[in-house]
Copies of this chain bind each other. A is one copy, B any other.
Amino acid sequence: MRESSLPDLGVGLIGTGFMGRSHALAFHNARTTFDLPVNLKLLALADADPARAARCATSWGFDRSYADWQQLISDPAVNLVAITTPNHLHFPMAMAALEAGKAVYCEKPLAVSLEQAREMHSAAQSAGVVTRVGYNYQHNPLIGLAREMIQSGELGQIVSFQGEFSEDFMGNPQQPWSWRCEQAHAGGALADLGSHLLAMARYLMGDVDAVCADSQTVHAQRPATQGSQAHRPIAVDDHTYALLRFANGARGTFGTSWLKHGYKNHLSFEISGTLGTLAFDQERLNELRLYRSGAPGRDGFQRILAGPAQPEYAAFCPAPGHQLGYNELKTLEVHALIQALAGNSSEGPDFAEALEVERLATAIRVAAKEMRWVKVSDS
């Protein structure tokens, strides 16, 4: 029997919202798509609503359910705790899991404050377990290709980065208040969207030394609920822009907005070096635009389509151009995590890296507030 020869990996998942289901799908698909080095077991699912927990456990193929997430963490068969609850719960849940010596897979953002993030990182170091944070976009095979091009020198010395992550779900001033509008829940465009782009920038370009920034709350109040006459004041940023100085010498810009009409998932960037330029837009996640300096009249931006030349793509489909979806990036994230748990070297953002992302976001916040350049290492 194949199963018996592999170590068990018992997964405990907390949360049954959009990201909860996305995790459940990803664990299933990782098992069907890859030859895993573990015997993956979907062990337990937790949701504060016991009926919902039980129902989802059945539909999603989990062995048992809990209403109390602490019980899930304490379940001895659970080796890995996946956290998909609202942002402010990341801290207590992750700390409890680390305390119990469990590996932790936490949705982004890691925490709702830099101080929390520092504590979580410190606890993870003490626990000595594998951790991962859900910056799923960087698991795209084409992002892997982009990183390889950058690191191999195929683009020459990197000189610039220009990144933007814009959506428009808050574009209508009548869009009501939500928890995403609260600083205490890590709300605002910078925390909600921008942190994905900062993680991506770090993944591809490395450390940022210094930033200057500008933030604005365009709509200072919003209806308390859809259609309500009552309004609530809004303090978080609707959009934030920054200048970035990278440790590798590159310069560039950063922008994030949740009210830029027309964009739905516009995590995009252009990275340019002395030999070429590459560009990416999450709204066309299966394409990389690449320019390599060539013969005049014969060169131009190329559209590279994802295909089996990238191993992570090949796992899903043997033919190029068939396209991966957003949920499959999550499967790739889970697969990388499982490889790390099995002791195979595997890249992916852990709590240490997530702390650096939070530090960078904090530096941008300070720079915007104080209208001055800020060294990231000062945060």
What band does the interface of chain A fall in when counting residues whose beta carbon is under 8 Å from B? 35 or more
A261→B291 contact, CB < 8 A: yes
CB distance from A26 to the nearest CB of B (A): 10
Copies of this chain present: 4
For A301, what are the chain B residues with a Cβ–Cβ distance below 8 Å? 262, 302-303
A265→B327 contact, CB < 8 A: no
One of A79-87, A96-104, A159-167 at the interface: A159-167
A293→B261 contact, CB < 8 A: yes
Q: Please name 7 pairs of A and B residues whose Cβ atoms are closer than 8 Å in the assembled complex, sorted by A.
A: A160-B239, A172-B293, A261-B273, A264-B321, A265-B320, A297-B309, A325-B327
Residue of B nearest to A266 (CB): B321
Say whether A147 faces chain B, with CB atoms less than 8 Å apart.
Answer: no
For A213, what are the chain B residues with a Cβ–Cβ distance below 8 Å? 243
CB distance from A175 to the nearest CB of B (A): 11
Say whether A184 faces chain B, with CB atoms less than 8 Å apart.
Answer: no
A277→B253 contact, CB < 8 A: no
How far is A375 from B318 in the complex, measured between Cα atoms in Å? 38
CB distance from A139 to the nearest CB of B (A): 13
For A173, what are the chain B residues with a Cβ–Cβ distance below 8 Å? 274
For A24, what are the chain B residues with a Cβ–Cβ distance below 8 Å? 32
How far is A293 from B264 in the complex, measured between Cα atoms in Å? 12
How far is A310 from B298 in the complex, measured between Cα atoms in Å? 10
CB distance from A335 to the nearest CB of B (A): 14
For chain A residues 253-288, which have a beta carbon within 8 Å of chain B? 253, 255, 257, 259-266, 270, 272-277, 282-286
